[in-house]
Amino acid sequence: MIRGTLQAPSAVVMVRPHHFTVNTETAADNAFQAEVQTGADHTTAAFEEHTRAAQTLKDLGIRVHVFEGEDPRTPDCVFPNNWFSTHAGGHVALYPMKAQNRRLERRQDVLELLKAEYRVQDIIDYSGLEPDGLFLEGTGAMVLDHIDRVAYAAESDRTNPIALERFCTHFNYEPMVFAAADQSGTPIYHTNVLMCIGTGFALIGTGLITNPERRAEVLDRLRAAGRDVIELSEAQIAGFAGNAIELTGKNGPLLALSQTAFDILTPEQRARIETHAELVPLSIDTIEMAGGSVRCTIAGIHLARR
């Protein structure tokens, strides 16, 4: 059996969408969402894209737990990384979500699967912060360096500092918060579209971090942890090049990213990444219309098998 590294898990949870559409409740602060014509039906395309992506990861030796997203009230169910995360030592966190229809994505059957097949010691539930307007949308809001114990977080309505501080205290991470926005001044809604941290490398859209001093501090911290920092342009961030995840397959580390992201990387960037991990592009063009890419579709399992 292939065991994942601390940063790159070998098992994941994915939720296959049966009623895919772009979520109107999240459009106000997600500039990555596409405008979809009224009545346009992308259900079949999204379902098939997800099926192929999950099978590709399985073929590479990833243990993929696929759940079916059959509730029509949850258009973003394909992005499970926002409502829960798992951590070494048997810990699970549940998160407070900003959009009301996204709160319906939390599923007991996922938690029961984790408890049945992995060693779960406790579940810390932050969802009770929702009535107070305190949101922290999981590993979308935070990009976690599991090795150096840093939680990188871009400021947004989906990343409340009080909720972030609670998480970091419970899970022993140092919060590293920064402001980030695109050229039009629109804040980056989720940190995981801006950056990806692998075991030996990091991808980051440094130009979108608005404070130059804070930008330098973030870069210094990543490099101090021994990462090969590969900087991404704003156009590459818009093409989801930062929304990737390192996993451990049967042949070693791999970087799962979308075909869109792969295509927008330069040959030099690809070559640098490939010194650390095999590049695995997945075609999910329809799913990306909802404002997230491969990283968003994958919830890594950092738990020991039973």
Q: What is the pLDDT at residue 5?
A: 85
Q: What is the pLDDT at residue 21?
A: 76
Mean pLDDT, residues 31-58: 78
Cα separation, 241 vs 257, whole angstroms: 7
What confidence tens digit (pLDDT) does each residue in 219-268 have? 999 999 999 999 999 999 999 999 999 999 999 999 999 999 999 999 99
* Residue 20 backbone phi and psi in degrees, to 5: -65, 135
Spatial CB neighbours of 163, under 8 Å, sequence gap ≥ 6: 96, 126, 129, 134, 135, 136
CB neighbour class for 235 (10 Å; exposed up to 12, middle 13-18, buried from 19)? exposed
Residue 3 clears pLDDT 90, i.e. is over it: no
Give the SS3 label for residue 110. Answer: helix
Give the SS3 label for residue 190. Answer: coil
What confidence tens digit (pLDDT) does each residue in 70-119 have? 999 998 999 999 999 999 999 999 999 999 999 999 999 999 999 999 99
What confidence tens digit (pLDDT) does each residue in 6-36 have? 999 999 999 999 988 764 544 445 444 445 5
Mean pLDDT, residues 38-58: 87
What string of DSSP letters covers 144-175? EETTTTEEEEE-BTTB-HHHHHHHHHHHT-EE
Residues in the chain: 306
Mean pLDDT, residues 203-208: 97
Rounded to two decimals, the pTM is: 0.93
What confidence tens digit (pLDDT) does each residue in 146-171 have? 999 999 999 999 999 999 999 999 99
Residues paired with 209 in a beta bridge: 180
Residue 62 clears pLDDT 70, i.e. is over it: yes
Spatial CB neighbours of 274, under 8 Å, sequence gap ≥ 6: none
What string of DSSP letters covers 27-66? GGG-TTPPP--TT---HHHHHHHHHHHHHHHHHTT-EEEE
Alpha-carbon separation of residue 248 from 57, 58, 159, 271, 277 (angstroms): 10, 11, 28, 19, 9
